[in-house]
Amino acid sequence: MAIWSAACSNLLTSNRGLHEFIVRLNNDRKRTMPYSIVCSCGATVSVTTSQAGGTCTCACGVTNAVPRLSELRLSAGEAPHPISGAERIAGIVARSELPDRDTCTSCDANTDNTVWFAVFCERKRTSGGNDNTFVYYMLFGWIAILASAIRPPRSKTHGTDVVDDVPMRICPTCLPAIESTKSQHKLRGLVRRVPACSDLLDSYPNASIMPNCRG
């Protein structure tokens, strides 16, 4: 199964939308792990998301009502509704749960120096209209040239900026090399050393990272 998922990931990397869909699908599969409720007899009964809002029967024979999915998720310490990786990291940062270590993320030396990294998960894109000036000129002559100059092709903005600012422990010795690197591969590898951020980069494999964004 792991080999199949890795192969699909490599094949779909060139298509960002499909790749992110597969990542979300895999994350949803992880969430199908059984939740649990307590029977009136005191026994713990495992239930799945498909049983939410219905009933289940305990080994003792008692039929129990299964809470709604949002209630099952809350009882398991999850958000009542699925959230994106970017929203999850934003919540962790807002709760001051990061940095989660007292050592440098790069070299593991003891440090209390905090550096903020901007993780650009998504960027809004602007596309311009098709420039058919030559075609219009052939059909309508110089009038088309003048019209195109007065009214340039319209551009459209697609999507929105999705950015997470992530605090990490980086010692003063490692910081200059990290700030000067132009390798996104190295920066992603560094950010992946924070477990919560590893999940974020799984969801946004093409994310770009800028160190010391609050320096």
Kindly state whether residues 91 and 144 are assigned to the same domain.
no
pLDDT at 14: 43
Q: Show the domain range for 70.
A: 36-81
Kindly state whether residues 194 and 119 are assigned to the same domain.
yes
Amino acid, single-letter form, for residue 171: C
Within 8 A by CB and 6+ apart from 79, the residues are 73, 88
Into how many domains does the chain fold? 4
Kindly state whether residues 199 and 93 are assigned to the same domain.
yes
Kindly state whether residues 23 and 77 are assigned to the same domain.
no
Kindly state whether residues 120 and 137 are assigned to the same domain.
no
Kindly state whether residues 95 and 152 are assigned to the same domain.
no
Kindly state whether residues 169 and 112 are assigned to the same domain.
yes
Question: What is the sign of the dihedral through the CA atoms of 32, 52, 92 and 181?
Answer: positive
DSSP letter at 114 equals E
What is the Cα–Cα distance from 96 to 215, expressed in whole angstroms? 19
Kindly state whether residues 190 and 98 are assigned to the same domain.
yes
Q: Which bin fits 89, alpha (ψ -120 to 50), beta or left (φ > 0)?
A: alpha
pLDDT at 88: 83
Kindly state whether residues 120 and 163 are assigned to the same domain.
yes
Kindly state whether residues 75 and 99 are assigned to the same domain.
no
From first to last of its 215 residues, the chain has per-residue pLDDT tens of 444 444 454 544 444 454 455 445 555 544 455 789 999 999 999 998 888 889 999 999 999 999 988 888 888 877 777 777 888 888 888 889 899 999 999 999 999 999 999 999 887 665 655 555 555 545 555 554 555 555 555 556 545 678 889 999 999 999 999 999 999 999 999 999 998 898 889 888 889 999 976 65
Q: Which segments of 13-65 does DSSP mark as H helices, in order?
A: 16-30
pLDDT at 31: 46
The pairs formed by 92-96 with CB atoms below 8 angstroms and a separation of 24 or more are 92/196, 93/164, 93/165, 93/166, 93/167
Kindly state whether residues 141 and 170 are assigned to the same domain.
no
Under 8 Å between Cβ of 119 and 200:
yes
**β 155-158/125-128 pair status:** antiparallel
Kindly state whether residues 150 and 56 are assigned to the same domain.
no
